[in-house]
Every structure is written in C-alpha cells, then in structure tokens.
Copies of this chain bind each other. A is one copy, B any other.
Amino acid sequence: MKRRAVANPLALAVLCGLLLEPMHPYEMGRRLKETGKDRNIKYNRGSLYMVVEQLGKAGFIAEQETVRDTARPERTVYALTDSGRAELYDWMRELVARPEHEYPRFGVALSLLGVLAPDEAAALLGERLTALDREAADIRADTAAAKEQGVLWVFLIEEDYRLALLEAEHRFVTALIDSLKAPEYARAWRAVFEEGET
C-alpha cells in the first residue's frame, strides 16, 4: 500500500479548512489557532508553508489568485481541487477507522523504568500524578467555558478524548506506584542492578 503523498496531519487540517472556502496560508494558520485545533494538530508556520507547497505539487489544492492588498506581502489564495476533496475524505476515514501504532513518551519512560531505583521511581511517579491532575483540571475548565459560549459538543470531543486518556493514565500510575513500593520488588531490583556494587 503506497503512502500518502503528503503525510503531515497539518495537511489534513489545510484540506479541511479549504473545504469551507478558499484562503491563503496565513489565514489557515490563524483559524487553526483560533479554534484551538492546534492542541491536537501540531502547528508551526514553517511546516504550514511546506505542506501547502506539497499539497500543491500533489494536485490536492491549486492557487486561485494572488492578492496584493498593498501594504501586506502578497498573499496567494488556494482552493481545494476535486482530488483534494477525495483525499480529505479518504484520509479521514482511515484515521477514524484504523488505529495506528504510536510511541507515546511515557511508554518510552516505562520501557526503561528499570534503571531507576524503586523508591525514586515511585516518588517521580507521584509528581506525575499531580501534573496529570493539573492538566485534567485545565481541560475541564476550557471545555466548560467553551460550552457556555455555545460551542457544539462535536467540536470538543478531542478534549474529552484527552481527558479519557489522562484519567486512564492516572489510574495506571496510581497502581504502578503501589507495585513499586512492594518490598519484594525493591529486593529484586537490588539483586539485578547492584550485583557487585554494594
């Protein structure tokens, strides 16, 4: 199966934006930040111009006109092509229906947790718990505020998802701390990692 011509998620956001109406790159970026989608789609201007160029080459979007507003730099307005629209839907379908293997940072930490002494690991995980709490509180506050403003729930599910993951991680870490504190583990750990050292 051949890869997508443009793989960066930011490109998907661009296609999605252009579904509504043609616009110039900077405007896409502005909306991304404005609607908070940049919390779930990594955004930076450099990459944006890059993917716009790539999308152009792939024929998914096309320059529509070049406006010179006097004053501002010349802005090129892009529009979605038919094949771009097709790509958008195809990509979305894949993203929704098929989980992809990912590499969360915490998974890395856990893979190598063995190198830390049990009590230190437990303490650090304690710190993580409070950080997780803070994050969750932030998300709850943000979405509550947005709901008050009348934003539809569909436009907030990403944050609900984040919350669900956060809560799951919280439970997991809590349990893990307990396991680490079991004295048999401390003994086993010392046996493995401090063989000749003490």
Q: Which residues of A contact B (CB under 8 A)?
A: 9, 12-13, 16, 19, 37, 39-42, 88-89, 92-93, 95-116, 120-121, 124-125, 127-128, 131-132, 135, 152-155, 157-158, 160-162, 164-165, 167-169, 171-172, 176, 179, 185, 188-189
Contacts and interface: CB of A to CB of B under 8 A. Distances in A.
B40 A110 contact: yes
A157 B110 contact: yes
A97 B13 CA distance: 32
Contacts of A125: 96-97
21 contacts: A37-B112, A92-B113, A95-B105, A95-B108, A96-B109, A96-B124, A97-B124, A97-B125, A98-B127, A98-B128, A99-B128, A99-B131, A99-B169, A102-B104, A107-B162, A113-B157, A114-B154, A157-B176, A160-B172, A161-B172, A168-B168
A179 B155 CA distance: 13
Contacts of A116: 89, 92-93, 96
Nearest to A157: B110
A175 to B, nearest CB: 9
Contacts of A154: 113-114, 185, 189
A40 B172 contact: no
A42 to B, nearest CB: 5
Contacts of A37: 111-112
Contacts of A131: 97-99
Nearest to A166: B99
Closest 3 A/B residue pairs (Cβ): A168-B168, A95-B109, A40-B107
